[in-house]
Amino acid sequence: MKVLRLSEIDVRGKRVFIRADLNVPQDDSGAITDDTRIRASVPAIRDCLARGAAVMVTSHLGRPKEGEWSAADSLAPVARRLSELLGAPVPLVKDWVDGGPWHAALAPGQVVLLENCRFNKGEKKDDEALARKMAQLCDVYCNDAFATAHRAEATTHGIAKHAPIACAGPLLAGELDALGKALAHPARPLVAIVGGSKVSTKLTVLKTLAEKVDALIVGGGIANTFILAAHGHVGKSLVEADLVGEAQAILDAWPGKVPIPVDVVCAKQFSATAAPTQKAIENLEPDDMILDIGATTVAALKTVIAKAGTIVWNGPVGVFEFDAFAAGTRALAEAIAASHAFSIAGGGDTIAAINKFGIADRISYISTAGGAFLEFLEGKTLPAVAILEARATA
């Protein structure tokens, strides 16, 4: 994967258009409840400003109706927070696609925030005319938003076709480096852990990874479908009976690659207060519900993890939100943290688990991009990255 990087480009005196991911969570009053994404976007902006560029930044926020401005999805709170973080004024430009006085006045060393790009009609369908107009605003287009890299939209794809220079910002480049290291040139053994609730949401990931990895650890509801495929009992656990064939096909194609849990922690109902019981799979009763992997399984998986050269993790292996059923996910998380492998993790609930167990600083790389991370694991081409590659080699 070869893309131009912001660091390779002389931006002095140039107008740089940064597509960031500033899609932060807000409470009912509009207050930002977690500014991680804004803070993560600061380095690219600061770098450009320090090197004498005139900087425009935009992002999507929420799901506004295209073509209509709405206060609820305005980037105004983001502009205020960004201004605090940069220690500089960050004016918000409402109607920006056609340029105008704000554009003419933008000087090197200054930054403006361009209002929610999804307010523009044609953004989501990657409208050609819209993308061309956006490209005319800048000398350098910089994509620093990996989370939207799996979508071809005007600010993530179309603009990159037409801007004089198109490059990746440090966040995007960092994601590509980490993911490339984990999957394109992994230190072996390469171990993947795929948990979560449903096989159906991760079938392509499972198939793609089964082929690439040396061991594919399945957990959570996903493991239940594999247990059934391996002729084990699952009681009344979350299971997708219609996907047993798919699970079976993976087991048959890659004998020995997918360790099946031999014991589990189960309960009679799905509840935080349900009494946990540890059982071997063969002792599972029809009214048992599997909510975590058992101690024997954990011990076996820890050995696999300890030997790994590279670990890719998506999805908790149990209902970690309930303390009684969190031990399996905690143990694997700690095993990953303790290992010397290059480890990469992603997924909304996976990150929640990592934070709950306090091991974030011992994972080599945490991808904050849910959908794009999964599509990368699926081996799909990310359109926003593909266009940067095409521009780099053109």
> Applying CB under 6 A, which residues contact ligand ADP?
195-197, 201, 220-221, 238, 290-291, 314-316, 318-319, 321, 347-350
* φ and ψ of 58, to 5 deg: -140, 170
**Shortest Cβ 184–ligand ADP spacing (Å):** 22
318 binds, among Mg ion, ligand ADP, none (CB under 5 to 8 A by kind): ligand ADP
Q: Of the two residues 85 and 238, which places its CB atom closer to ligand ADP in the complex?
A: 238
- d(C-alpha 108, C-alpha 12), whole Å: 8
| Residue 316 Cα distances to 194, 203, 205, 261, 374, angstroms | 8, 16, 15, 14, 14
Active-site residue, selected from the candidate residues 198, 236, 268, 391: 198
**Shortest Cβ 269–ligand ADP spacing (Å):** 12
- Tell me if residue 132 is catalytic: no
The residues near 361 (Cβ < 8 Å, ≥ 6 apart) are none
**Shortest Cβ 351–Mg ion spacing (Å):** 9
Regarding 349 and contact with Mg ion (CB under 5 A), the answer is yes
| Residue 25 Cα distances to 36, 56, 66, 262, 365, angstroms | 10, 22, 20, 40, 22
Considering only CA atoms, which of 143, 167, 171, 128 is closest in space to residue 391?
167
**Shortest Cβ 326–ligand ADP spacing (Å):** 9
Q: Of the two residues 34 and 98, which places its CB atom closer to ligand ADP in the complex?
A: 34
220 binds, among ligand ADP, Mg ion, none (CB under 5 to 8 A by kind): ligand ADP
Query: In the set 25, 164, 180, 348, which binds Mg ion (CB under 5 A)?
Result: 348
Please report the DSSP string for 104-149 in residue order: HH--TT-EEEEP-GGGSTTTTTT-HHHHHHHHHT-SEEEE--GGGT
Q: At what angle do helices 348-356 and 327-338 cross, to 10 degrees?
A: 80
In the complex, residue closest to Mg ion by CB: 349
Q: Of the two residues 137 and 291, which places its CB atom closer to ligand ADP in the complex?
A: 291
Q: What dihedral do alpha carbons 329, 330, 331, 333 form, nearest 10°? A: 80
314 binds, among Mg ion, ligand ADP, none (CB under 5 to 8 A by kind): ligand ADP
197 binds, among ligand ADP, Mg ion, none (CB under 5 to 8 A by kind): ligand ADP
- Tell me if residue 268 is catalytic: no
Check if the beta carbon of residue 143 is closer than 8 Å to that of residue 149: yes
**Segment (H or E) for 314:** strand 310-314
- Tell me if residue 37 is catalytic: yes
The residues near 386 (Cβ < 8 Å, ≥ 6 apart) are none
The pair of structure tokens assigned to 329 is: 């996910």
Q: Of the two residues 99 and 379, which places its CB atom closer to ligand ADP in the complex?
A: 379
Q: Of the two residues 64 and 318, which places its CB atom closer to ligand ADP in the complex?
A: 318
- Tell me if residue 87 is catalytic: no
Active-site residue, selected from the candidate residues 99, 371, 379, 391: 371
The pair of structure tokens assigned to 129 is: 């005319």
The residues near 63 (Cβ < 8 Å, ≥ 6 apart) are 73, 118
**Shortest Cβ 6–ligand ADP spacing (Å):** 29
Q: Of the two residues 214 and 349, which places its CB atom closer to ligand ADP in the complex?
A: 349
User: Interacting stretch for Mg ion, rule CB under 5 A, among 40-48, 127-135, 263-271, 347-355?
Assistant: 347-355
The pair of structure tokens assigned to 176 is: 């590509």
**Shortest Cβ 266–ligand ADP spacing (Å):** 9
Give residues in contact with Mg ion (CB under 5 A): 348-349
Q: Which residues are catalytic?
A: 37, 198, 348, 371
